[in-house]
Chain A
């Protein structure tokens, strides 16, 4: 996984709460068996509307999504993270994330940074009054910056460390091979198997 330290990019205001995973990527696109190529799928229903914010040319280079509360509710589909990344997003800012989405984002290297709702409001104002404005997301200092804004964000400390180091989770767990074997030797006999 690529290391993430500081990212600066165009922000896009998504003035919606409860952006669920079916909106981020409809089930139709989940039939694919690949890990990439989901840029067309992102918000595909909303993108049919020419006025939808992502269709406005001034946000065309956006890489920081600024969304309302409860972003990523719904299904466990990791495709939601992939679609955001394939489209070009490196960061999503929200005042609240759904748990599974947040976990998936961390695994995939998408920064899901939680800020106060008032900060989201101020960012929306900046992005709407100055379309194309950039936002800097500093994972080293855990701060989000834009015009006259310099605020902290919250991200799980362990996820932050992994993103900063660009580490792969499976590799980390496999270092515990001996502990896993010990645990397996202690499991009760009555537990079921599928084989």
Chain B
């Protein structure tokens, strides 16, 4: 029977199947971090269980670690305890861990692909919703809760009900200056934050095939913001090229075998999806959010919407509330929104290509007076690579802060936070109330828009700078 990419990966991982029960799926790679794992390790201890496959498990410190003074003990005692708990758990259960200071440390979704651990056709899980990032390689990758983390640690499997499948077909070419981030924000605005619920999204079409692996990761990363469990992109030459030679990628004869198997993963021509969304890439422009969920976004050239213009009550109330929280007025051009802080980083846009794109905009320019810009590489490797290319110089000469790797202001668990009422343009993935600090206001943007905004002090695209 004809199958989609998601169905192929699913079928090849079924360990046990019985009528009326979820499938028991094998997990190829389990990524662990400090925030969602302590209670899972405790559960193992309480039940006298071991980690079944420490060799398919990898931990890193990212959510809760500082991005300054990392050579000193973590100042916040509660954060320190959490990180130390992870270190103790990993030592006790023999799970490989990349601690602060290790060259492989970084955001879990940046580290996996960078090491070549994430490969096509695999099942990848992590106690973090943005695990969907790894779907860019044609892996079935999704976030799980702490009970499930414990389950995978103990059994290397998960009982799961099959997902539905949705094709997101992106035809045409992205215009110059329009990025993967703009594309995914536009897709989420189109289908809504609940639109992908219960689905695995498969992004395909001309515009997707043209994207780099970094850009594909940005797209798949934000699938969860459309409510989807996972996002996937069929592996192709771009994928193989990215993986070749990576530390954990196969080599020699194993490489040839793997590539042959990976080529079989594409959705069959006559396979059917449960739903399909079609997007015309050529009609897109830089996209930003104005509200407090990632679906509340518009082209940068638009204005803050009037809640009255929404056609149902729930959307009207949500818009009203969001505009109030964000301190905006209906009808105000989005370009007139001034920001206090610009955050460049996160598992959405903290990879080398993102830093290059922002640096290109900032080169020879200055961050506007009164604006703080934080540049937080997604991993230590990204940081080192950027430094080798001199990007750190461009950032610091422009007046931005060059930080150590981690999640940082994406979720503000560490000291990098907005203060109440403070407004940011952020390359991260969530603009929820208080996400970047209590009372903080977040506009989601691409790295290019983030950089241009830092220069002008109000939401801007690089094209706005040409004459500036």
Residues of A bordering B, CB below 8 Å: 17-18, 20, 22-23, 26-28, 30-35, 45, 68-70, 73-79, 81, 96, 98-100, 103-104, 107-108, 156-158, 169-170, 172-174, 176, 179-180, 183-184, 187-195
Given the complex, which residues of B lie within 8 Å of A100, measured CB to CB? 129, 143-145, 229
| With A20-B293, A23-B433, A99-B229 as contacts: A70 and B194 at CB distance below 8 Å | yes
- Report whether B96 and A195 are in contact in the complex, using a CB–CB cutoff of 8 Å: yes
Query: Which single residue of chain A is at the shortest CB-CB distance from B78?
Result: A31
A10 to chain B, nearest CB (A): 25
Interface flag for B350 (CB, 8 Å): no
- Report whether A179 and B15 are in contact in the complex, using a CB–CB cutoff of 8 Å: yes
Q: How far is the CA of A30 from the CA of B78 in the complex (A)?
A: 10
A122 to chain B, nearest CB (A): 15
- Report whether B434 and A170 are in contact in the complex, using a CB–CB cutoff of 8 Å: no
- Report whether A20 and B432 are in contact in the complex, using a CB–CB cutoff of 8 Å: yes
Given the complex, which residues of A lie within 8 Å of B36, measured CB to CB? 30, 76-78
- Report whether B55 and A173 are in contact in the complex, using a CB–CB cutoff of 8 Å: no
> B145: which of A45, A74, A78, A158 is its contact (CB, 8 Å)?
A78
> A76: which of B39, B58, B128 is its contact (CB, 8 Å)?
B128
Which candidate, B149-157, B176-184, B357-365, is the interface stretch facing chain A?
Answer: B149-157
Q: For the complex of A and B, list the 10 residue pairs with the smallest distance between their C-beta atoms, beginning with the closest.
A: A104-B145, A107-B147, A78-B145, A195-B55, A33-B38, A76-B143, A78-B146, A190-B250, A194-B58, A190-B254
Q: How far is the CA of A158 from the CA of B255 in the complex (A)?
A: 40
Given the complex, which residues of B lie within 8 Å of A174, measured CB to CB? 154-155
| With A76-B129, A190-B255 as contacts: A26 and B438 at CB distance below 8 Å | yes
- Report whether A192 and B198 are in contact in the complex, using a CB–CB cutoff of 8 Å: no
- Report whether B117 and A192 are in contact in the complex, using a CB–CB cutoff of 8 Å: yes
User: Please, could you name 21 A-B residue pairs with CB atoms under 8 Å apart, sorted by A?
Assistant: A17-B318, A18-B293, A22-B434, A23-B433, A34-B39, A73-B193, A78-B127, A78-B147, A96-B194, A104-B146, A107-B145, A107-B148, A170-B47, A179-B15, A180-B15, A187-B26, A188-B261, A189-B254, A190-B255, A192-B250, A194-B117
Query: Which single residue of chain B is at the shortest CB-CB distance from A107?
Result: B147
Q: How far is the CA of A18 from the CA of B325 in the complex (A)?
A: 15
> B227: which of A45, A73, A76, A169 is its contact (CB, 8 Å)?
A73
B230 to chain A, nearest CB (A): 10
Query: Which single residue of chain A is at the shortest CB-CB distance from B410?
Result: A27
Query: Which single residue of chain A is at the shortest CB-CB distance from B438?
Result: A45
- Report whether B155 and A180 are in contact in the complex, using a CB–CB cutoff of 8 Å: yes
Q: How far is the CA of A78 from the CA of B42 in the complex (A)?
A: 15
Q: How far is the CA of A30 from the CA of B36 in the complex (A)?
A: 8
> A69: which of B15, B129, B314 is its contact (CB, 8 Å)?
B314
Residue among A18, A32, A157, A180 having the largest count of chain B Cβ atoms under 10 Å: A18
B242 to chain A, nearest CB (A): 14
Query: Which single residue of chain A is at the shortest CB-CB distance from B413?
Result: A27
- Report whether A169 and B432 are in contact in the complex, using a CB–CB cutoff of 8 Å: no
- Report whether B250 and A179 are in contact in the complex, using a CB–CB cutoff of 8 Å: no
Given the complex, which residues of B lie within 8 Å of A34, measured CB to CB? 38-39
Known: A35-B39, A194-B117. 7 other contacts (CB 8 A): A76-B131, A157-B20, A169-B147, A173-B159, A180-B26, A189-B257, A192-B116
- Report whether A191 and B28 are in contact in the complex, using a CB–CB cutoff of 8 Å: yes
B461 to chain A, nearest CB (A): 28
Given the complex, which residues of A lie within 8 Å of B158, measured CB to CB? 173
Count how many chain B residues have C-beta atoms less than 8 Å from C-beta atoms of the other chain: 80
Which candidate, B79-87, B282-290, B378-386, is the interface stretch facing chain A?
Answer: B79-87
- Report whether A180 and B161 are in contact in the complex, using a CB–CB cutoff of 8 Å: no
Q: Give the A-B contact count at a CB cut-off of 8 A.
A: 198
Q: How far is the CA of A188 from the CA of B96 in the complex (A)?
A: 22
B435 to chain A, nearest CB (A): 5
Q: How far is the CA of A74 from the CA of B129 in the complex (A)?
A: 7
A167 to chain B, nearest CB (A): 11
Q: Mark B232-265, 1 if CB is under 8 A from A, else 0.
A: 0000000000000000111000110110010000
- Report whether A76 and B161 are in contact in the complex, using a CB–CB cutoff of 8 Å: no
- Report whether A68 and B314 are in contact in the complex, using a CB–CB cutoff of 8 Å: yes
Interface flag for B298 (CB, 8 Å): no
Interface flag for B191 (CB, 8 Å): no
Q: Mark B306-323, 1 if CB is under 8 A from A, else 0.
A: 000000001001100000
Interface flag for B35 (CB, 8 Å): yes
B159 to chain A, nearest CB (A): 6
Q: Which chain B residues in 410-458 approach chain A with CB under 8 Å? A: 411-413, 430, 432-435, 438
Query: Which single residue of chain A is at the shortest CB-CB distance from B255?
Result: A190
- Report whether A70 and B193 are in contact in the complex, using a CB–CB cutoff of 8 Å: yes
B133 to chain A, nearest CB (A): 13
Q: How far is the CA of A183 from the CA of B16 in the complex (A)?
A: 9
A84 to chain B, nearest CB (A): 13
A157 to chain B, nearest CB (A): 7
| With A27-B413, A31-B413, A158-B20 as contacts: A76 and B261 at CB distance below 8 Å | no
| With A33-B81, A73-B293 as contacts: A169 and B159 at CB distance below 8 Å | yes
A138 to chain B, nearest CB (A): 21
Interface flag for B22 (CB, 8 Å): yes
Q: How far is the CA of A156 from the CA of B161 in the complex (A)?
A: 10
A187 to chain B, nearest CB (A): 8
> B79: which of A31, A45, A74, A190 is its contact (CB, 8 Å)?
A31
Interface flag for B56 (CB, 8 Å): yes
A162 to chain B, nearest CB (A): 10
A189 to chain B, nearest CB (A): 6
Given the complex, which residues of A lie within 8 Å of B430, measured CB to CB? 22, 74-75
Interface flag for B197 (CB, 8 Å): yes
Q: How far is the CA of A192 from the CA of B468 in the complex (A)?
A: 50
Given the complex, which residues of B lie within 8 Å of A103, measured CB to CB? 144-145, 148
Query: Which single residue of chain A is at the shortest CB-CB distance from B85?
Result: A33
